[in-house]
């Protein structure tokens, strides 16, 4: 360091010769206390040196790379297709010990290796971990490496590891000081409960987290108090060390059981809402059954019994919720008895072919459920069943309609399909009105049918309007499409007229292609974007109609005699299928 200071550049040497000694004298430190003190040179801060990287022979690197490949397990293929890029990154992992993580995974059918955890890995990955600057050798690698595999369900993998490996080790360890132990355990339980809920909630299942603490061992030991201690005692009360440990354990259990209560309340509310809202009511409430099974689990029962012994109010609340779940299960079982009858029949519905008989039998079954079911006979449930019936009829009509035919080369057949579906919807409404007016009074004279008819047929009416919209498109396709050609137009401008007509055809098919691309939403009555699509199509057809009017007027302006006029009328005959153009052609016929 001092050597660097002695070496001065030439510019600084020249500057030394020009020093102003008078200025130097004035700048001297004249403080007597500091006179004669020698200034110490500033010491430059040195950055900590990075440890030396290991140096491997080619044979050692080959061996280490082979170890990684041998330990790499992939879930969806027996043979891993290694490539040079992967080999290079694995080598870099060993040559640069500052890299802590090595991950190997498939992405787009190609094996990849990165020196980090993959942000997205749809099929899982294998990882290798080490401490910073931990150096591997061919001899120590297998004994010191930390590695594992994560499948495509990352959250579930983490949960299983925490639940079955990490949690038992931590909860049964005596390494933590007493004042830290409780905080560690509370945070661990909170993390596990939240993660478990995150995993099972998308499946519509409620899973109760059960801590793997030593409950029986802790509460089987003798205590000075008969009930050990009561919840709610003043925290300033002095307990023995053993009772203090029990008190903290019970506090943790209390937090867990309060989390259970919140889950159970939500499950019962969701289950009830499912009964009333779900369009298709043929279900088994697996969530409630799953919950009931968990509440009978020995570990869960032991937690509840411990808190009951200590007079915990949350234990009583949990008992009430358990009774509510039992009632919900009884209700679900009764509902399924009736709903399965309707479900089995609806699988055999023959719509729109035999719509009258099929709809009549289905509606009579709904009336039977209304009259006999002890739980499902409420107005709201009947409304839901009738809406489900409407959805079923609509779904079968949509399956019957072949859009390729309707918007393709046979729009006439498409119109027949659509008109048949409209007829089916009208018959359904007629039968419904007949049964609700004339039959209900005989089935249950003392009970009123208060189902909102508008709610029942709301989707049916929307579906019918969509059918009318598509019929309108079919009729436009018949006139403006390429399927029906116009006749040959004579005269000196005949070629120009045909070119103009081909332009009209092309413009029409551009608009039709937009409709075809929106095929998925045509009969989806929940998508209002269709209204914008059909408005745009109608506007385009109106513009094309004006172009045809101009074409017809121009043709007849150049007609020289009756023969040419009659020839033009027959050539333009296809336009008679549109009212505005038909009126125009009739006027031209009169003129001729």
Who has greater pLDDT, 579 or 412? 412
In terms of average pLDDT, the best of 105-109, 283-287, 453-457 is: 453-457
Average pLDDT on 322-344 reads 82
pLDDT bracket for residue 204 (50, 70, 90): confident
Q: Is the dihedral of CA 411, 413, 416, 421 positive or negative?
A: negative
Q: Which residues contact 409 (CB under 8 A, 6 or more apart)?
A: 483
What confidence tens digit (pLDDT) does each residue in 300-311 have?
Answer: 888 888 888 888
Average pLDDT on 493-513 reads 87
Checking if the pLDDT of 213 tops 70, the result is: yes
Checking if the pLDDT of 544 tops 70, the result is: yes
Quote the tokens at residue 370.
Answer: 């209304």
Report d(CA 452, CA 379) in Å as an integer.
Answer: 9
Report d(CA 79, CA 94) in Å as an integer.
Answer: 24
Is there a contact between 219 and 286 (Cβ–Cβ < 8 Å)?
Answer: no
Checking if the pLDDT of 50 tops 70, the result is: no
| Pairing, β 101-107 against β 125-129 | antiparallel
What's the predicted TM-score (pTM) here? 0.60
The number of residues making up the chain comes to: 592
Report d(CA 483, CA 522) in Å as an integer.
Answer: 23
Quote the tokens at residue 453.
Answer: 């008819």
Q: What is the pLDDT of residue 388?
A: 87
What stretches of 162-214 show up as alpha helix (H) in DSSP? 167-171, 178-200
Which pairs from 542-549 meet CB under 8 Å and 24+ separation?
Answer: 543/507, 544/480, 544/504, 544/507, 544/508, 545/578, 545/580, 545/581, 547/500, 547/504, 547/507, 548/504, 548/575, 548/581, 549/580, 549/581, 549/584
Nearest CA among 394, 380, 404, 276 for reference residue 346: 394
Is there a contact between 104 and 126 (Cβ–Cβ < 8 Å)?
Answer: yes
Report d(CA 172, CA 212) in Å as an integer.
Answer: 9
Average pLDDT on 181-189 reads 89
What confidence tens digit (pLDDT) does each residue in 147-163 have?
Answer: 888 888 888 888 998 98
Residue spans of the domains in the chain: they are 58-152, 166-218+242-334, 349-466, 481-591
Report d(CA 448, CA 304) in Å as an integer.
Answer: 46
Q: What is the pLDDT of residue 541?
A: 94
């Amino acid at each position: 360091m001092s050597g660097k200071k002695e070496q001065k550049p030439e510019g600084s040497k020249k500057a030394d010769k020009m020093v102003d000694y008078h200025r130097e004298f004035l700048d001297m430190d004249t403080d007597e206390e500091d006179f004669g003190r020698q200034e110490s040179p500033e010491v430059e801060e040195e950055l900590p040196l990075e440890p030396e990287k290991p140096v491997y022979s080619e044979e050692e690197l080959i061996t280490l790379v082979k170890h990684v490949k041998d330990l790499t397990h992939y879930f969806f293929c027996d043979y891993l297709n290694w490539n040079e890029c992967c080999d290079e990154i694995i080598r870099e992992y060993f040559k640069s010990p500052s890299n802590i993580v090595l991950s190997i995974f498939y992405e787009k059918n190609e094996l990849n290796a990165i020196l980090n955890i993959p942000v997205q890995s749809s099929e899982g990955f294998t990882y290798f971990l080490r401490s910073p600057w931990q150096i591997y050798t061919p001899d120590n690698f297998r004994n010191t490496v930390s590695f594992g595999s994560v499948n495509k369900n990352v959250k579930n993998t983490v949960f299983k590891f925490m639940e079955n490996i990490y949690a038992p080790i931590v909860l049964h360890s005596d390494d933590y000081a007493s004042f830290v132990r409780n905080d560690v355990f509370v945070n661990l339980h909170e993390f596990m409960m939240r993660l478990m809920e995150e995993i099972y909630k998308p499946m519509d299942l409620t899973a109760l987290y059960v801590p793997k603490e030593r409950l029986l061992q802790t509460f089987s030991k003798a205590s000075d108090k008969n009930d050990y201690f009561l919840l709610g005692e003043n925290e300033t009360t002095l307990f023995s060390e053993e009772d203090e440990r029990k008190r903290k354990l019970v506090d943790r259990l209390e937090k867990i059981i309060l989390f259970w209560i919140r889950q159970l309340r939500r499950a019962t509310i969701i289950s009830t809402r499912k009964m009333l809202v779900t369009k298709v009511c043929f279900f088994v409430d697996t969530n409630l059954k799953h919950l009931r099974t968990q509440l009978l689990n020995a570990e869960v029962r032991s937690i509840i019994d411990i808190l009951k012994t200590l007079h915990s109010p949350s234990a009583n609340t949990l008992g009430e919720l358990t009774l509510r779940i039992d009632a919900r299960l009884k209700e679900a079982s009764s509902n399924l008895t009736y709903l399965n009858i309707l479900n089995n029949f609806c699988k055999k519905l023959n719509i729109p072919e035999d719509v009258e008989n099929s709809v009549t039998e289905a509606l009579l079954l709904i009336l039977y459920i209304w009259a006999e079911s002890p739980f499902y006979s409420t107005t709201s449930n009947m409304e839901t069943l009738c809406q489900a019936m409407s959805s079923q009829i609509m779904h079968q009509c949509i399956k019957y309609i072949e859009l390729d035919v309707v918007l393709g080369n046979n729009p006439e057949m498409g119109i027949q399909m659509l008109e048949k579906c409209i007829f089916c919807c009208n018959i359904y409404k007629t039968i419904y009105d007949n049964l609700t007016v004339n039959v209900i009074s005989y089935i249950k004279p003392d009970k009123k049918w208060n189902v909102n008819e508008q709610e029942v047929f709301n989707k049916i009416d929307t579906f019918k309007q969509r059918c009318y919209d598509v019929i309108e498109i079919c009729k436009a396709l018949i006139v403006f499409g390429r399927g029906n050609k116009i006749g040959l137009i004579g005269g000196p401008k005949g070629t120009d007229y045909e070119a103009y007509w081909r332009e009209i055809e092309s413009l029409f098919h551009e608009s039709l292609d937009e409709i075809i691309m929106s095929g998925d939403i045509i009969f989806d009555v929940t998508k209002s974007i269709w209204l914008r699509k059909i408005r745009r199509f109608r506007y385009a057809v109106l513009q094309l109609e004006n172009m045809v009017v101009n074409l017809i007027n121009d043709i007849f302006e150049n007609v020289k005699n009756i023969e040419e006029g009659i020839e033009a009328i027959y050539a333009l005959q296809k336009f008679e299928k549109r009212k505005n153009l038909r009126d125009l052609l009739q006027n031209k016929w009169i003129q001729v």
